[in-house]
Amino acid sequence: MGVIRKITKQEKNAKITVKHPTLKQATHNDIKTTIYIKSSTPFVSGIKRINKFLNDLHKRKKDPQFQCIVLLGMGKATEKTMALGSYFAEEKGKRLEIRTKSVDVIDEYIAEGDDNNSVVDDRDKETSLKKRSLSGIEIKIYP
Amino acid sequence: MAVQQSANKGGKKQYNKNQIQKRQRIYNARSIRAEAIIASSSNKDKSTNDLSESGSMLNVDKFINSRQFEIKELQLAMHRSKVSGSTRVFQALPRRLRRRTASHNIKRIPKRMRNRALREMMKNDQERTGANSTKPRHGLTSKALYKAKMSIKLLRLASKSKSMKLALPNEVSASKNRVRQKIRTLQRLIKDGKRHKKNISKLNNVMGSYDNVGVNTLAKIPRGRPKYVKRQLKFTWLPTHVWNAKRSHMIKRWGYQIPWSATQKCFKMTHRIGSNVATSDGTLCMDTSYLGTIIINAKEGEAEQLKETISKLTNSRGVNSKYYKSKKLFQGLIHSPVDGNILGPGEVIWVDEVSVLLRLHPTVFGNVFSHLLTLTNSLKIQDARFSISSITLTGAESLTALTSVLRSTSKSESFEQLKLVSNVTDCNVLPQNLNFGFTAIDPRHFGSPKKIKHGKDQLNIDEVMKLQTNEPKTEIYETLSKLLSQSGRTESYKGQLTMKELNKRRHKMVHADSNVADNGIIPFEKGKDPEIPLYIYKREESNDWVILLPWFWHLPLWYQLNRIPRMYNIGLRQFQQLQYENSKLYFPDDYPFTEAGSIENAVYKRETSRSKWEGKPSGKRVNFSKIKNIHNTKIPSLKGEIGDFFSCDWRFLQVLRNGVSYLSRDGKSLAMINPNRTTQFDQGAKRLIEVVNDLFELSKDLEVENLTIPRSKLPICLSTNSDREPKLVRTKEDICNIPLSVLPVRCKYVERGHMKDNARIYEIPKEHEKYWKEKRNGTFRPDGKLFHDEKTPLVEVYNLIGFISSGAYDLSIGGSCGTGFVDESHFINSKDKYVLVRNVGSNQYRLALLNKLII
């Protein structure tokens, strides 16, 4: 099942019931140095949060991996992530490291053959999973 | 004395030598050096003379260096004064780890600090509490001594009979019997046990574990140890009661004693760990054994009957192929099998076609169970309230925590799956309704929790997708049927060891072998050691994991789980908070359309806040009846706040909404008052309903109990998709007879303000729409800030459409939010998603965004 199948037209039109988030396997130190930017994150709140994380960096392990703040944003939030990064580069003179990324997410579709019964609620229908790739950006801000 | 006199006279206080030294130390620590002079003197080139009394230009680098030096000095001084203030080592501990007894018992201090703590105690000549400090013996009268000895004797005999694997007879656990009677019974039991008499029922372990299940009847309430029998007469203890009673505030509700909230403040912590946030780095755990479990097995050829029963209970949702064939967890509303009313939330897990597991709230349990008892000729009903217990875990590390205290007894595919995803910190990425089932070894085999080590390479998303397709169904099925059968649970207790025996084994293991295998885990011996059937499933609705396990295995797992760092215990209050932050309803507080919820709202919460309000002196409490400028038009029958002040007054809303649709039937216009006459009565001395004012008189009448006005049992009902046709209010009697159909909603303030419980929701009148539209986009002051304090146009009282059942500040969105219910007809009539919300006892209206909730 690991092979990616070709998407049929029927599957393309299938109804998504659940959009799952990205896979996260963060350690304690990761959590305290990583910020996920949403498209709804206010810009100034983002700045305040990054500043707070930068101030707390000295508490982290003395591993070079954890001596910077990682901003992650994908899809619609990519632009906002870049804007936050460039604020810290231009206004605060921080060193940045920018990387583009490709992120996989899972969608749950209503399984074939189960979408005819319109009486049943969508959440009571059986679902099948499908992978979707998104592009995102990772910005490391060094103190 | 002389010192005091001088102090009274207002002279300077005299310090002793010690105090002077201390003051000097603080003074030194706080002094901050500045560089200005040094900077100029270090500059050898006098001719530039860049720092003079009159002030002159500076070089950029010198200026920056000087400021840098000052900042460093300031930081140093802050650090110094912080260090100089601290006196005892345990003050350095974080708040969560501080113990009051740490000042005289060094065992309360972490090991690395103990030496310093000892030195500090020696310095102060402090008395120490040791391990074997004995309490002084008090003189007892002979009668009191006899009494004390008897109760000790009873406990000794009970523990002896337990270690002889004898089942505790009913006479001992019954509370009415006298101590001497109990002792006599136990002595006889032990005597018979020694002679191996045949009629004696023996357990299969020395821990006293047995399967307490009621087949086609209610299970007996477990009394636990004879010592604690009398404390559980009315309210049963959960397996972790003693543990939780030390660490949480408990409440007595629904026949159980349930942890309400942890003793330490944990509001923000609960949000940070349990809510759906990426910063979560721990686990919250709760003993949810108070949720009643029912196992239903269909007798041969009666599978259809079972399907029908479940269909009736879940309003035909629970038998869809997703749940019935694919065996996914069903979470939804449970309907009364008798009249179809909604009882509350529940869970249904299909094991196979002929057996099913129900998990119900205690308020719902009795109703459903008594109905099921009428079906015993075709179904076998097991009351497993006290034979299957559950633990609920939330937070990013819940799976990591589980895998660090659980190991499967043999090679298990389901456990491999659990291990695979145990590093995932965001459970939402996993497919819906994921479940695991395997037999585990006794968690006490671990010396301490051991994390499972993962390889360097990260988990692939394809592997996560495989979880759903490669589900080890047979293995999960086997474990689940073991867990749900009486013999399976009894089998799991076979050879359950005491702590003493386990420690003996660990001791032997450590000494036999210098390089201890398995990280200090006592090796599992197949056939000899017990195997615990475990079922773990993910709940989408509340975003948590539930572990089902046999009742007497609860405590061993619980103890081990709570040794994991960053594992915190929570109670019902925190569960309510998490449901609120998840935009989900919490039973029973947010279920006013059920009987339990309406009692919670209209009786318990209302009476507590009313008595709290009445306890205050009249000058220091809100005078609800004298609040001005709430509504546009003043009505003679209403003064101040509307409805009940201390609850969501659903009856009031029903009368008002139904009454308004009655008054405006056939396109009649709505009149507030009849200026010519007061309220009128018909021939039967019943009130005529002609204007809005009459509705409030009617709702006042309803409060007077001896008036026989026909009324529906519950004022509101949940609107369902099945009957789209809203019931029309045609006659006067219908006003209180037809329950108002409501929809659950989530309100979020657009601007500032703080929503509270019982807040009133109003629709925006047509004539004010333009004003509020402008407000939504923001009205600003000349200084660029939002303008909040302008006077808003007032609504009419009949614009009331609903109540907020739980409103607070939501940390996950950084604003005020509330869950509530509004009249369904509002959604039909108005496309606008904005409403006005007003707190009880205030006349301030705030704009809020309305979202429908699906339950």
Q: Read off the pLDDT of residues B322-371 as tens digits, 9 standing for 90 and up.
A: 888 888 899 999 998 888 888 999 999 999 888 999 999 999 999 999 99
Q: What is the CATH number of the domain that holds B636?
A: 2.40.30.110
* B331, B415: one domain: no
User: Using a CB-CB distance cutoff of 8 angstroms, which residues of chain B are in contact with residue A32?
Assistant: 281
Distance CA B85, CA B79 (A): 10
Are residues B269 and B304 located together in one domain of the fold?
no
How many other CB atoms are there within 10 angstroms of residue B175's CB atom? Answer: 11
- The answer to whether residue B536 scores a pLDDT higher than 70 is yes
Contact residues on chain A for B321, CB-CB shorter than 8 A: 114, 126
Are B397 and B422 members of one domain?
A: yes
Residues B98-150: pLDDT tens digits?
998 888 888 889 999 999 988 888 887 777 776 665 666 678 888 988 888 88
Q: Distance (Å) from the C-alpha of residue A34 to the closest C-alpha of chain B?
A: 9
Q: What is the pLDDT of residue B733?
A: 76
Q: Residue B373 forms beta bridges with which residues?
A: none
- B303 plus B272 within the same structural domain: no
Dist. CA B303–CA B297, nearest whole Å: 9
Q: Which residue has the tokens 């801000």?
A: A141
pLDDT value of position B717: 81
Quote the pLDDT of residue B229: 84
> Is residue B117 a part of any domain in this protein?
no
The mean-pLDDT minimum among A31-45, B209-223, B675-689, B764-778 falls in B675-689
List pLDDT tens digits, range B540-572: 888 899 999 999 999 999 999 999 999 999 999
| Mean pLDDT score, B79-98 | 83
Does the beta-carbon distance from A23 to B424 stay under 8 Å? yes
Cα B156-B161-B167 angle, rounded to 5 deg: 135
pLDDT category at B3 given cuts 50, 70, 90 is very low
HSE toward the beta carbon, residue B805, CA cutoff 13 A: 29
Distance from CA of A25 to the nearest CA of B (A): 5
Q: What is the mean pLDDT of residues B732-757?
A: 87
Asked if the model's pLDDT at residue B439 lies above 90, the reply is yes
Task: Measure in Å the smallest separation between the Cα of B396 and chain A Cα atoms.
Answer: 9
All residues of chain B having their beta carbon less than 8 Å from the beta carbon of residue A18 are 432
* Domain presence at residue B715: yes
Radius of gyration in angstroms for the set of CA atoms belonging to chain B, rounded to a whole number? 34
B279 and A31 in contact by Cβ < 8 A?
yes
pLDDT at position B483 is 92
What's the whole-number mean pLDDT along residues B507-517? 70
Residues contacting residue B23 through CB under 8 Å, at least 6 positions apart: B15
What's the number of domains chain B is made of?
5
pLDDT score at B262: 94
Same domain, B535 and B404: yes
With a cut of 60, say whether residue B265 has pLDDT above it: yes
Domain span at residue B378?
Answer: 295-383
Q: In the block, which residue shows the tokens 């694997």?
A: B165
Query: How many residue pairs from chains A and B have C-beta atoms closer than 8 A?
Result: 82
* CATH no. for A14-112+126-141: 3.30.110.20
Q: What is the pLDDT of residue B711?
A: 75
Residue B616 inside a domain? The answer is no
Would you call A23 and B429 a contact, using CB atoms and an 8 Å cutoff? yes
Regarding whether B417 and B359 lie in a shared domain, the answer is no
B260 inside domain: yes
Cβ-based neighbour number of residue B830 at 10 Å: 16
* Residue B342: closest CA among B27, B598, B577: B598
The percentage of chain B sitting over the pLDDT mark of 90, rounded to a whole number, equals 33
Considering the domain architecture, whether residues B683 and B761 belong to the same structural domain is answered as: yes
Closest CA to B382 of B393, B401, B369: B369
- The pLDDT tens digits for B642-698 are 888 999 989 889 888 888 888 887 777 777 777 777 767 776 667 777 778 888 888
Q: Phi and psi for B719 in degrees, rounded to 5?
A: -75, 135
CA angle B563, B568, B570 (to 5 degrees): 135
Residue of A1, A16, A24, A55 for testing the chain B interface, max B β-carbons within 10 Å: A24
* Residue B281 with chain A: CB contacts under 8 Å: 26, 28, 31-32
Mean pLDDT across chain A: 84
As a whole number of angstroms, the distance between CA B9 and CA B20 comes to 22
CB-closest option in B317, B464, B469 to A106: B464
Mean pLDDT, all residues of chain B:
85
Contact, B483 vs B534, CB < 8 A? yes
Q: Of A7, A1, A56, which is closest to residue A33 (Cα–Cα)? A: A56
Q: Please report which residue ranges of B140-276 form alpha helices under DSSP H.
A: 142-163, 170-173, 179-194, 241-247, 267-274
State the pLDDT confidence band at B516, using cuts at 50, 70 and 90.
low
Q: pLDDT at residue B834 above 50?
A: yes
Residue A2 with chain B: CB contacts under 8 Å: 462, 466
Residue B489 confidence (pLDDT): 92
Residue B416 in 3-state DSSP?
Answer: helix
Higher pLDDT, B609 or B54: B609
B180 and B315 fall within a common domain: no
Residue A57 distance to chain B (closest CA, Å): 15
B715 preceded by cis ω (within 30°)?
Answer: no
Same domain, B848 and B716: yes
Q: Contacts of residue B784 in chain A, CB cutoff 8 Å?
A: none
Are B232 and B272 in the same domain? Answer: yes
Cβ-nearest to B423 among A25, A106, A108: A25
Residues B795 and B659 in one domain: yes
Residues B719-733: what's their mean pLDDT?
67
Is the pLDDT at B208 greater than 90? The verdict is no
Q: What is the DSSP letter of B784?
A: S
Residue A46's pLDDT is 94
Q: State how far the Cα of B115 lies from the Cα of B443, in Å rounded to an integer.
A: 33
- What is the model's pLDDT at position B738? 82
Compute the nearest-CA separation of B802 from chain A (Å).
26
Cβ contact, residue pair B278, A18, below 8 Å:
no
Question: For residue B259, what pLDDT is reported?
Answer: 95
Lowest mean pLDDT among A10-14, B199-203, B428-432: A10-14
- What one-character DSSP code corresponds to residue B205? S
Question: Which residue in A has a C-alpha nearest to residue B332's C-alpha?
Answer: A124
How much is the pLDDT for B817?
Answer: 93
Domain contains B205: no
C-alpha distance from A103 to closest chain B C-alpha (Å) = 10
Least confident of A93-102, B582-591, B782-791: B782-791
- Spatial separation of the C-alpha atoms in residues B171 and B809, rounded to whole Å: 53
B224: left (phi over 0), alpha (psi -120 to 50) or beta: left
